[in-house]
Structure 1
Amino acid sequence: MLNSSLTVRLAEAADLPEIARLTRFAFVPTQSNQQVQEGWFGQGLQLPDRRRWVVTDSQIDRVVATYAELELQIACLGSVIPAIGLGGVAVAPECRGQSIAHWMLTQAIHQAQAQHIPLLMLYPFQHGFYRSLGWGWVGQVYQYPIAPQHLPKYPRSGTVQPITPREHPAVQTLYQQVALQNNGWLLRSDRQWEAWFQPLPGQDLWGYWDGETLLGYVLLGVEQQAIYGTKPIAVVREWVALNLAGYRGILTFLRSLRDQFSRLIWHTHSADPFPHLLQQQDRVLPQGHDRILFRFSHRLGEIGSSFMWRLVDCQAALTSRPVQPTAPFSLAMQVQDAILGDSQWWVDCAEGRMTCTPLPSLAEAPAILTLSIEHLSVLFAGTRTVEDLLWTEEVHWQGDRTILTHLTQAWQSPPPFCWDFF
């Protein structure tokens, strides 16, 4: 199949049966096409914050691939960065192996560039494929399956109550406040919150209050797994705490449920002190599993590879990201991008912001950083540092090493984390 026969366009109502077929085969092959139409696309193909695209092949006059664009607002250390999330990428099974997905996502990158979108975000089905298109792996999820009785003991001061619709605005306000303090959290739209609050079987939302003030909440799911015995398992699917009191209130509440659950699965980010607070640094394992990982090391948690980011409009991205206090500096960046083309930028950093302008010549640059768009995305996210990438020779530095130190300080931040997935 030649790419000249492919066209990408917004999906229309008549495309729904074919979109449902592709989606079912890619994501939920045990369901029927009708179930996918009703469950995935019951609200329509085009929504206020979501656009569905299709790729058609003129040689066979049929939809051969599809994906969705989501309008996102990503919190970054007090600022908000507009972005586009890509999801629901699916190619017809009979058309796979012909680079259609690569072509389709290349078009998506060019469309984002035309709109001056700072970055694209997605959850990859295969990291290597998206890395070849310029995405960098930036998101991690930490999971700790532990015995509830090993949670720390704190004196109970506030109250825990199930969240009712009347308290939904308080939950939204708390989430927004905490999200803006962090890196990578999505600022949810009203439509996203409406879906988030929909009750699901075996899932409850609990809030920790100090008088009339909501200090934290936890979204708790319950599962039954026979390998862990007859008691159910509690799964923390989201937790948000305004301060230490809210954090301790959530942990105290979960510990109070220790007689009901055989295991608690705590999902979190890398900066969470949770594993250090446990009375026993040990995970709960099924019967017959070795609790020793290596020599005298106990099994405790797991790290999950999560979302990827890709910078698109480098100028918009670098100027929108807050930076940490450091001495003013300037440098040149040579960015290698196989999709959008290589570029050169003059970067100035002063007073908590970077400015970025196209650079015709490197002759006067005090320092030059040469790197791929993937590695620039990783540095931008705060997942790795320039020193890390220099040590592994993934980037190249030329010039004043003092500027290297200032750049590392400027981009220092906790790695991005996100509760939402798509």
Structure 2
Amino acid sequence: MEFKELKDFEAFTGLSHRCYPGMKLTSAEEQERYTEHRRKMAGHKDVHPVGLYDGGSLVGGYFAYDHKIQVYDTKVKGAGIGTVAVDLPYKKQGHAKRIITKFLLDARKNGRILAHLYPFQPGFYQKMGFGIGPELSVYQFHPSQLPTFETTLDVQVLTRDHLDDVRTCYHTWVDQTHGATDIPSYGFAFLEKPEQHTVGVQNEGKLEGYMSFEFKAGSHFLENDLHVRNFFYTTKAAYQALLTQLHNQKDQVRSVSFPTFDEDFSFTLDDPVHVENRLIHSIYHKTAEQGRGLMYRIIDIPAFLESVKHHTFGRDTIRIGWTVKDSLLGETYKEVWQFAAGRPSVTKEEAEVQIELDIGSFSSLMMGCVSLPALEKAGKANVSKPVDLFNQLEKPQCWTFF
């Protein structure tokens, strides 16, 4: 078995068809479309297709992505992995473990600090040392449940002619948002998709927010639901103007499907109840559906520490001795960090508190996805005594799918 650069995209399409039947690559047209899409993606310098071969036969493969991820106030080099596939006759032979190990070691060798992925099965990747990411909520409500705001911002339909403005707006949002990922020009392909509609709000000629959405038909041609696909803003005024635009669709759409990482979004709605109008657990009203997707894994802990040395993880001034175990790579990180009013740095002095946990839990903790008391209560971390750190979380937001 050996890894090589993947160039046979027809073979990878067949592999994907067998491993991911939900892709519905059942027709020759769909398979050709998928093959060309993969070939086109492989032509980008930040995309790396890799195949696992047994002789001349492709038995597995994946796509690796070079990313730049905003981690609190610092942009770091990250790595994404997607479309991990092992052909059916070769399953349960350790090939997925080989793929993830190669991906992680290659990423570290190339100076990547943080890895992230969307799991086909979260429990599987937890065993590979990836930590659970933030919770996403999808609200579904009638447009009239949104408030209206007085706004003077100009609203316009956006097309591919506005690519530069949209890209600038998005990357301004990235620079303000922990967990956000830079995307290249091909990440704005929604501007060219006929099924998606994009509108933006401008302030003195500068795009400060935009959203894209598509309509899903109901039981007849006058019944439609609006599904938000992108929703980005750089100012409060732009956020409120975009919500007002959604409210104004109340005479045209039955409901709005709105995904968000905002745990307080219920307070935005005049009525937070989901359109299903269903009670859960006695007399609690359903407001949204929740799920976990993106998972994180710190690849290089010393480099990660250097990137967050100016971030405040709490109020304590204390020395913590970390023991971080990585069973996949067979590594254990042991170091003492001095927290000065919550800001960390390495010290040679003796630890006042000892914390032991695995690399997945450590990654979730450092990225703000979970508090230290929650990990301790769940039995995922051993803490020798309480510390006033990792309690007030700044949770990551990432809308980059790969």
TM-score by length of 1: 0.87
1:204 CA displacement? 0.8
> 1 CA distance for matches of 2:332 and 2:274?
47
1:105-158 CA distance string (max 9 Å, x none) = 122222223334211110000011111110011132211010111111222422
Aligned residue for 1:232?
A: 224
For residues 14-413 of structure 1, the aligned pairs below 5 Å read 15-27=8-20, 28-31=23-26, 32=28, 33-38=31-36, 40-43=37-40, 45-58=42-55, 61-193=56-188, 195-197=189-191, 199-226=192-219, 230-271=222-263, 273-285=264-276, 291-321=278-308, 322-324=310-312, 326-340=315-329, 341-350=331-340, 353-356=343-346, 364-398=350-384, 401=386, 404-405=387-388, 407-408=389-390, 412-413=392-393
1:317 CA displacement? 1.4
- Supply the AA of the counterpart residue of 1:52: P
1:328 CA displacement? 4.1
1:201-257 CA distance string (max 9 Å, x none) = 32111011233232321111111133x984111111111122221111011111111
Alpha-carbon spacing, 1:25–1:260, altered in 2? closer, same or farther (3 Å): same
Q: Is the 8 A contact 2:134 2:261 kept in 1?
A: no
- Supply the AA of the counterpart residue of 1:421: F
- Supply the AA of the counterpart residue of 2:247: R
Unaligned runs of 5+ in 1: 1-5
1:11-30 CA distance string (max 9 Å, x none) = 2x3x2221121122233243
Alpha-carbon spacing, 1:364–1:153, altered in 2? closer, same or farther (3 Å): closer
1:196 CA displacement? 4.5
Alpha-carbon spacing, 1:97–1:229, altered in 2? closer, same or farther (3 Å): farther
- Supply the AA of the counterpart residue of 1:373: I
Percent identity between the aligned chains?
Answer: 23
1:280 CA displacement? 1.6
CA RMSD of aligned residues (A): 2.3
Alpha-carbon spacing, 1:346–1:174, altered in 2? closer, same or farther (3 Å): same
1:356 CA displacement? 4.1
1:342-386 CA distance string (max 9 Å, x none) = 2212223348753347x8xxx932221111001100101101111
> 2 CA distance for matches of 1:70 and 1:376?
23
SS in 1 for 2:249: coil
TM-score by length of 2: 0.91
- Supply the AA of the counterpart residue of 1:280: D
> 2 CA distance for matches of 1:44 and 1:274?
35
Alpha-carbon spacing, 1:196–1:356, altered in 2? closer, same or farther (3 Å): farther
1:39-63 CA distance string (max 9 Å, x none) = x2242635300000011124xx411
- Supply the AA of the counterpart residue of 1:129: F
- Supply the AA of the counterpart residue of 2:344: M
1:10 CA displacement? 1.8
> 1 CA distance for matches of 2:177 and 2:126?
25
Q: Is the 8 A contact 1:336 1:342 kept in 2?
A: yes
1:281-313 CA distance string (max 9 Å, x none) = 21113xxxx622232222210112110001111
> 1 CA distance for matches of 2:17 and 2:129?
28
Q: Is the 8 A contact 2:77 2:112 kept in 1?
A: yes
State how many pairs are aligned: 394
- Supply the AA of the counterpart residue of 1:34: E
- Supply the AA of the counterpart residue of 1:218: M
SS in 2 for 1:183: coil
Q: Is the 8 A contact 1:46 1:52 kept in 2?
A: no
Q: Is the 8 A contact 2:41 2:47 kept in 1?
A: no
> 1 CA distance for matches of 2:187 and 2:148?
35
1:137-196 CA distance string (max 9 Å, x none) = 113221101011111122242221101344332222222122222111111223434x34
Q: Is the 8 A contact 2:197 2:212 kept in 1?
A: yes
- Supply the AA of the counterpart residue of 2:124: F
- Supply the AA of the counterpart residue of 1:21: G
- Supply the AA of the counterpart residue of 2:323: Q
1:418 CA displacement? 1.1
